[in-house]
């Protein structure tokens, strides 16, 4: 094989098929070195610089050095990697190797090695365990520096292991000079490919919101958790419950980005099992190896994070946010994450969450200190892939392709598991508030409502004033079925049957054609409810809650009316027309109890 200038390149033990069996006669081989799924996702970003070039064949191997090795085989198989066992990879020669972590015996690879971070720069401290392959004497006993910027991770037997050390920002040069001065000549500041892709995706915010199922007017909160006991999930496994419990369901949606090390360390099935009660209440839970988290940063209105890279990426994108947890002991001194940890507000556990988030959204825009800290993610916005490709092709001794290396937006549709929901809508606590009619157009009555998932309320909090309970027909949990104030039928039905089953119920809502439903009261009164210019949340459940509030405000004698109904996402007009008269009292509760017991 020949390089530029006619130079002959030969390998003693070349990888892949013998030349006679190859369909595409590639000229160079590149080895992608995987440590875990986290590193593999960044490796995919970097190796995209070879897309479209038939001169380059990429192979992959796994060094087996990470405690979070679960999921690698599935990840590689799903993407159809040309995967070589580590023992074979060490015995073969490659033209170039690229690694996105420092673990394992990388010095045994027979190829020039480009070493890159797998997150937003170099922000965490990590030391090799004493006696587990420490490259420097006493490395396990001294204070560790930033993972990837110290001699402990970069030097073996006095030699710098990587041929090129990729940095994302100029500030990392000084930290590298402090941690491993002999490695500075090998450093290359190229920028950050993930930050570039998020930047390229920003114009498509509304497309991503639609793909995630976010309705107009809703706010999307991104909750990010890295791995370890001091992460968001590790510090408080119930934090997501609090977020979903305290934020009004129609005004907010929540998406959780869980670190691959947490996901595969415990097992995806286990993470989903722990979070299943929250998924049932609307939590969006994408798989961690997808690009959905990048699109979520573009789509979100605020974030709740910790000391993981997603917090830094979110802040660098201008997203306001707060820290739900932060491991100061794990974060490298002088790193962008350390600076951000000092600047971002912490979530206060004993104060209502929604006002804290809204305060951050109002006051962080234009904060120059946050902007300066977040600006340390990349020195070369939009240039990372171009600079990375130049670096790779210089080592391969090949001319670069003529087309530019471009960071493309996250493709659609986003990789989000389709939610599986029970036939009955989840029970809700509904707060309603009747607004002074003189403050509304046309002197119509006005009702504001907010809904909260009942199943996630550990105890009444300040976010709940005087709620009533709304359940769907067939609600399986008796704790809600027995205290329901409103029951929403699934289809046309005899309301007396539902009144008999739900003894505390005062209103049964029965859907009808179009934007209409019939609302039956226990005393025999009935109302036809019709939505005009209905919002996405308009339906029988909200109509029944509006009637409930209106009757309470009107002393129970309400006739027909037109009511302006509002939530935090907009308003609609609801007309109520009385169609039935009181039947002269409540049904016999003893008979109702007997009917309920007879039905099981």
What residue spans of 381-428 are helical by DSSP H?
384-396
Can you tell me whether residue 539 is helix, strand or coil?
coil
Fold of 4-193+382-396: Rossmann fold (3.40.50)
pLDDT at 556: 58
- Residue 16: what pLDDT? 79
- Could you tell me which of 118, 115, 135 has the C-alpha nearest to residue 186? 115
What is the structure's pLDDT at 599? 47
Q: Which of 71, 62, 107 is nearest to 89 (CA)?
A: 62
Partners of residue 98 on adjacent β-strands: 32, 114
Interatomic CA distance for residues 452 and 460, integer angstroms = 11
Angle 384-396/193-201 helices, nearest 10 degrees?
140
Report the DSSP beta bridge partners of residue 527: 519, 578
CA–CA distance, 305 with 84 (Å, rounded to integer): 37
Phi-psi region of 93 (alpha: psi -120 to 50; beta: other; left: phi over 0): beta
Q: What are phi and psi of 125, to 5 degrees?
A: -90, 140
For residues 425 and 488, the answer to whether their CB atoms sit within 8 Å is: yes
Q: In CATH, what is the architecture of 195-377? A: 3-Layer(aba) Sandwich (3.40)
Quote the pLDDT of residue 129: 56
pLDDT at 491: 85
Residue-by-residue DSSP string for 567-600: ETTEEEEEEEEEEE---SS---HHHHHHHHHHT-
State the pLDDT at residue 570.
Answer: 85
Ordered strands of the 321-323 beta sheet: 252-258, 219-225, 302-305, 321-323
> What pLDDT score does 18 carry?
85
Burial class (CB in 10 A: 0-12, 13-18, 19+), 598: exposed
Q: Same CATH fold, 195-377 and 4-193+382-396?
A: yes
pTM for this prediction? 0.90
Residue 442: other Cβ atoms inside 10 A:
8
Rg (CA), the chain: 30
State the angle between helix axes of 268-279 and 239-246 in degrees (0 to 180), rounded to the nearest 10.
20
pLDDT < 70: residue spans in the chain: 1-14, 127-144, 436-442, 555-558, 581-600
The DSSP symbol for 418 reads P
Rounded to whole angstroms, how far apart are CA atoms 301 and 339?
A: 22
How many other C-beta atoms can be found within 10 angstroms of the C-beta atom of residue 244? 26
Note the pLDDT of residue 131: 40
Q: Where are the domains of the chain?
A: 4-193+382-396, 195-377, 428-598
Picking from 357, 416, 382, 358, the residue whose alpha carbon sits closest to that of residue 208 is 416
Cβ contact 134:152 at 8 Å:
yes
Residues 36, 118 contacting (CB under 8 angstroms): no
């Amino acid at each position: 094989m020949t390089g530029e200038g006619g130079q002959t390149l030969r390998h003693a033990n070349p990888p892949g098929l013998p030349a006679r069996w190859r369909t595409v006669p590639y000229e160079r081989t590149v080895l992608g070195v995987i440590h875990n799924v986290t590193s593999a996702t960044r490796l995919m970003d970097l190796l995209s610089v070879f897309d479209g070039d038939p001169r380059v064949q990429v192979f992959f191997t796994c060094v087996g050095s990470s405690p979070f090795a679960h999921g690698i085989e599935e990840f590689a198989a799903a993407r159809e990697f040309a995967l070589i066992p580590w023992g074979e990879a060490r015995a073969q020669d490659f033209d170039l190797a690229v690694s996105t972590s420092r673990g394992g015996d990388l010095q045994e690879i027979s190829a020039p090695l480009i070493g890159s971070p797998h997150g937003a720069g170099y922000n965490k401290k990590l030391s090799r365990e004493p006696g587990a392959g420490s490259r420097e004497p006493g490395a396990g006993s001294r204070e560790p520096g930033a993972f990837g910027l110290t001699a402990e991770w970069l030097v073996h037997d006095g030699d710098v292991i990587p041929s090129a050390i990729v940095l994302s920002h100029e500030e990392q040069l000084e930290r590298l000079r402090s941690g491993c001065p002999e490695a500075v000549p090998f450093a290359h500041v190229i920028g950050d490919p993930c930050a570039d892709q998020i930047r390229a995706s920003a114009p498509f915010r509304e497309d991503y919101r639609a793909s995630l199922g976010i309705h107009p007017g809703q706010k999307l909160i991104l909750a990010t958790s890295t791995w370890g006991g001091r992460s968001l999930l590790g510090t408080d496994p119930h934090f997501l419950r609090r977020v979903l419990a305290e934020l009004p369901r129609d005004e907010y949606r929540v998406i959780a980005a869980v670190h691959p090390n947490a996901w595969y360390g415990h097992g995806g099935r286990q993470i989903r099992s722990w979070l299943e009660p929250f998924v049932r209440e609307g939590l969006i839970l994408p798989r961690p190896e997808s690009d959905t988290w990048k699109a979520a940063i573009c789509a979100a209105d605020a974030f709740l994070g910790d000391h993981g890279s997603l917090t830094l990426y979110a802040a660098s994108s201008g997203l306001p946010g707060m820290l739900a947890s932060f491991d100061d002991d794990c974060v490298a001194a002088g790193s962008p994450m350390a600076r951000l940890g000092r600047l971002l507000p912490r979530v206060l556990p004993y104060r209502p969450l929604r006002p804290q988030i809204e305060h951050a959204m109002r006051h962080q825009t234009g904060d120059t200190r946050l902007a300066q800290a977040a600006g340390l993610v990349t020195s070369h916005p939009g240039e990372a892939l171009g600079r990375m490709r130049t670096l790779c092709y210089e080592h391969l001794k090949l001319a670069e392709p003529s087309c530019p290396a471009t960071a493309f937006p996250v493709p659609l549709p986003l990789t989000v598991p389709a939610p599986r929901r029970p036939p009955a809508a989840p029970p809700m606590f509904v707060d309603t508030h009747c607004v002074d009619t003189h403050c509304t157009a046309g002197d119509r009555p006005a009702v504001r409502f907010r809904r909260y998932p009942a199943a996630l309320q550990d105890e009444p909090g300040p976010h709940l004033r005087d709620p009533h309970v709304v359940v769907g027909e067939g609600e399986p949990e008796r704790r809600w079925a027995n205290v329901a104030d409103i029951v929403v039928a699934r289809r046309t039905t005899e309301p007396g049957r539902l009144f008999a089953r739900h003894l505390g119920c005062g209103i049964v809502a029965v859907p009808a054609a179009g934007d209409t439903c019939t609302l039956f009261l226990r005393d025999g009164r009935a109302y036809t409810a019709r939505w005009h210019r209905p919002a996405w949340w308009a339906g029988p459940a909200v109509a029944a809650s509006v009637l409930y509030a209106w009757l309470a405000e009107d002393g129970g004698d309400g006739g027909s009316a037109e009511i302006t109904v509002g939530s935090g996402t907009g308003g609609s007009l609801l007309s109520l027309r009385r169609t039935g008269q009181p039947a002269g009292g409540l049904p016999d509760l003893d008979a109702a109890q007997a009917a309920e017991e007879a039905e099981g």
